[in-house]
Chain A
Amino acid sequence: MLKFLRKNGPGYLFLVPWFIGFIALALGPILVSLYLAFTKYDIFSPPEWIGLENFEFMFLYDDRFLNSLQVTFTFVFLSVPGKLVFALIVAMVLDKGIRGIGFYRALFYLPSILGGSIAVAILWRQLFDYDGIVNAVLAKVGIQGPYWLNDPDYALYTLIILAMWQFGSPMLIFLAGLRSISPELYEAAEMDGTSKFKQFYAITIPLLAPVIFFNLVLQMIDAFKTFSSAFVISGGSGAPVDSLNFITLYLYNEAFTFFRMGYASALAWVLLVIIAIFTGIAFYSSRYWVYYENERD
């Protein structure tokens, strides 16, 4: 023991601030929220243990929760593939060795830096306003645009487009992945007279699979946690008619507007379990479509 301390003590000592931060600001609150998920807690008075009642209500009676799941899933399943496809296409174009690639890379990455910010969400509101730029452009080609943000049929799609526009970070990762594919493979394929399309799905996709998988998991988790853009565009309430009521937004309002901190904690844990399940599915499925170069089969 003493020996261990003498050897590693200074190292742990340096880690102490981090441990304190982690326990006080992350682990502690997480555990408290797990406890609160089984209580009725209105913030003003002490929490009161109610067992599984929150979860029972959530799955059996709470239509708004079920709707928020639908909104969140729709968003994740449309925005993530869309974003990845878009990022891959742009990465492949940039990989062709365009002059000034550094400039374009920075340019395309820019939306990702700005993307989560309040300012961009406000900008989005203006773009998709009924008198906004999008409808003005549509009018030029003779289409009368809808009330994007007032109409539950369209509102979610404006957010999906916003998410897809922030394709910068998966694009950079794809670009790095593409660079690491050996050009000899393409040269050999070229000599055998393989079409560009076949090269794409027989060389690029399989060799890029680990990178695609990495991007998929990361982007999916991110998409499940979408909050600030929905908050700003819906004015904080998930309007119109709950069509932007993401589960994150719903639990925020349950906690801070309606004083149901216990129920909101239960919602947060359900979100965690959902993310865990989908990440698990992605990892499980990866056995069948992701191959690493150093593997042999």
Chain B
Amino acid sequence: MTMNRRKFLATTAATTGAAALSSVGTVALAQDRQIRHFWWGNPERDRRTFGVIDVFNGKHDDIEVIGETLGFGDYFQKLTTQVAGGNMPDVIQQGYGIIFEYIERGAILPLDEFVGNTLDVSNMDQSALDAGTFNGQLYAISIGANSHMALYNTEMYAAAGISAGDGFDPFGWTYDDVKRIGVEVAAANEGKYGTDDNTGNYQNFSDYIAQNGVEMFNADGEYQVTAELVIAWWELWKDIREAGATPAGKASAGLVANPPMAEWGVVSGNTATSYVWSNQLVGAQALVEAKLGAAMFPNTPAMVPGSVVQPSQFVCLTRDTVDAEAATTYMSAFVNDPDMTDILGLERGIPANSVARAALQSKLSESEAASVAFFDGIRGKTAQLPPPAPSGANEIEQTFQRAATGVLLDQDSIAESAANFVRQAAFIRRRAG
């Protein structure tokens, strides 16, 4: 039997423990297969996930799952230290934007050998399985689908006489509409603004790139965005800002880098529209009294699809797992066991398991139902999921946000900042490659 350090420690601990217990005449419990599950979350998600773990542990006498959670901001830094220490939890949560860096470097294991044994994926949507497949191997199980969503305050819109279908098409509005509506809503709501300023919103910018028929990375991993495209984007929002639809540039400059939910314009009440992810509707609605409406991200008049439907989160098996069979059994139950999917609901996004999805249909809360309706609305209007981003994509995003902050503060000329950003992005890719 081969032994690694962890196994050795676990065995030693178990033996010592068993010896100690037997000496007082107690029978050791059979829960000797412990695995850890680590995710990023929020209080609501943590409550639901710990609930799921309780259900799983109750059904499996021989396996004990231990949950660990952190906020998104700290999650990946903790994970990085665990990678370095060789003690990643067995099951971790991953996102589509960053997972490839982990796969490429061998931190996540392929799941193919478990499919059909401990891991049941028979009811999973093919698109979700495809999204978790890299280089022909399945690495990641989707635990919810996601898309870009503009959240708007229906009461503030109504004050300007605007509602879905009346001067506003939530599934086909343009940047011109954003400006027009933004100005009208700002005028109708004293001291408030119509929309957040997306100069530094990289998610909206990535939609804009696709809307202009450009792929962000080519097959060789080169960044394809031109300075002209960046200039056009920043000019577009400058125009919206100067029309009075958004807060002052200096105010928006503090909100560029993924601000916490409480600071979003639509949640703080400072603006009427924020541009986020669809699975955040449930959480945001819980913080806002007015009913929130869901719209797609805006588009150009040509209406080339820019948003994609992608797995919001995955569960993955790490190379540090102590018991891959127990871990995949748990992962399988996470997406299949109706008692567990029931607790999870739509909090992480729309489930990719068709049976679980159907079972949830009748139990939806109002905001969950709105999420489902949104997914019906965007059908046929989204782009194909691009291949996963290469290493360095995350750094390019941060570089973009930094450049955009300079633009919002009016410190750098748009043309110069755009040229700098494109040059830096190319360099980041060369350095990462």
Binding site for B on A (CB under 8 A): 42-45, 130, 146-147, 149-152, 235-237, 239-242, 255-259, 261
Residue in A closest to B403 when the chains form the complex, CB atoms:
A241
B-chain residues with CB within 8 Å of residue A258 when the two chains form the complex? 394-395
Say whether B253 contacts A44, CB under 8 Å: no
Tell me the bound Cα distance from A151 to B102 in angstroms: 35
Residue in B closest to A148 when the chains form the complex, CB atoms:
B254
A-chain residues with CB within 8 Å of residue B251 when the two chains form the complex? 130, 147, 150
A41 CB to nearest B CB, Å? 9
Residue in A closest to B404 when the chains form the complex, CB atoms:
A241
Say whether B77 contacts A151, CB under 8 Å: no
Evaluate whether A239 and B77 lie within 8 angstroms (CB atoms) in the complex, with A43-B83, A147-B253, A152-B411 already known: no
Say whether A44 contacts B402, CB under 8 Å: no
Contact partner, B73, options A130, A151, A236, Cβ 8 Å: A236
Which B105-132 residues sit within 8 Å CB-CB of chain A?
A: 105-107
A-chain residues with CB within 8 Å of residue B83 when the two chains form the complex? 43-44
Tell me the bound Cα distance from A150 to B250 in angstroms: 7
Tell me the bound Cα distance from A257 to B80 in angstroms: 8
Tell me the bound Cα distance from A236 to B411 in angstroms: 22
Residue in A closest to B427 when the chains form the complex, CB atoms:
A61
Say whether B105 contacts A45, CB under 8 Å: yes
B197 CB to nearest A CB, Å? 12
Interface residues on B, range: 20 to 34
Contact partner, B76, options A237, A240, A257, Cβ 8 Å: A257
Q: Produce 1/0 per residue, B56-82, CB < 8 A to A.
A: 000000000000000001001100110
Contact partner, B402, options A43, A130, A147, A241, Cβ 8 Å: A241
B-chain residues with CB within 8 Å of residue A257 when the two chains form the complex? 76-77, 80, 394-395
A-chain residues with CB within 8 Å of residue B73 when the two chains form the complex? 235-236
Say whether B250 contacts A261, CB under 8 Å: no
Tell me the bound Cα distance from A205 to B253 in angstroms: 46
Q: B256: CB under 8 A from chain A?
A: yes
Which among B80, B106, B406, B411 has the highest number of chain A CB atoms within 10 Å? B80
Say whether A239 contacts B101, CB under 8 Å: no
Residue in B closest to A130 when the chains form the complex, CB atoms:
B251
Closest 5 CB pairs of A and B: A44-B105, A150-B254, A150-B253, A147-B250, A256-B77
Tell me the bound Cα distance from A264 to B105 in angstroms: 19
Tell me the bound Cα distance from A146 to B250 in angstroms: 9
Contact partner, A239, options B76, B80, B106, B256, Cβ 8 Å: B256
Which B11-60 residues sit within 8 Å CB-CB of chain A?
A: none
Residue in B closest to A258 when the chains form the complex, CB atoms:
B395
B56 CB to nearest A CB, Å? 29
Q: B398: CB under 8 A from chain A?
A: yes
Other A-B contacts than A43-B84, A241-B411, A258-B395, 7 sampled, CB-CB below 8 A, are: A149-B254, A151-B409, A152-B411, A237-B401, A240-B409, A256-B81, A259-B101
Q: Produce 1/0 per residue, B323-355, CB < 8 A to A.
A: 000000000000000000000000000000000
B-chain residues with CB within 8 Å of residue A42 when the two chains form the complex? 105
Residue in A closest to B252 when the chains form the complex, CB atoms:
A150
Say whether B411 contacts A259, CB under 8 Å: no
Q: B405: CB under 8 A from chain A?
A: yes
Can you report 13 A-B residue pairs in the complex whose CB atoms are below 8 A from each other?
Answer: A43-B80, A44-B102, A44-B106, A44-B107, A45-B105, A150-B253, A151-B409, A239-B257, A256-B81, A257-B76, A257-B394, A257-B395, A259-B80
Say whether B402 contacts A256, CB under 8 Å: no
A-chain residues with CB within 8 Å of residue B76 when the two chains form the complex? 256-257
Residue in A closest to B398 when the chains form the complex, CB atoms:
A237
Tell me the bound Cα distance from A241 to B405 in angstroms: 6
B-chain residues with CB within 8 Å of residue A261 when the two chains form the complex? 84
Say whether A150 contacts B409, CB under 8 Å: yes
B406 CB to nearest A CB, Å? 5
Tell me the bound Cα distance from A240 to B406 in angstroms: 8
Tell me the bound Cα distance from A258 to B253 in angstroms: 23
Contact partner, A151, options B80, B250, B398, B401, Cβ 8 Å: B250
A166 CB to nearest B CB, Å? 24
Say whether A151 contacts B105, CB under 8 Å: no
B-chain residues with CB within 8 Å of residue A149 when the two chains form the complex? 254
Tell me the bound Cα distance from A44 to B80 in angstroms: 9
Residue in B closest to A236 when the chains form the complex, CB atoms:
B73
B-chain residues with CB within 8 Å of residue A239 when the two chains form the complex? 256-257, 401-402, 405
Tell me the bound Cα distance from A149 to B253 in angstroms: 9
Tell me the bound Cα distance from A130 to B257 in angstroms: 18
B-chain residues with CB within 8 Å of residue A43 when the two chains form the complex? 80, 83-84
Residue in A closest to B107 when the chains form the complex, CB atoms:
A44
B-chain residues with CB within 8 Å of residue A147 when the two chains form the complex? 250-251, 253-254
Residue in B closest to A252 when the chains form the complex, CB atoms:
B77
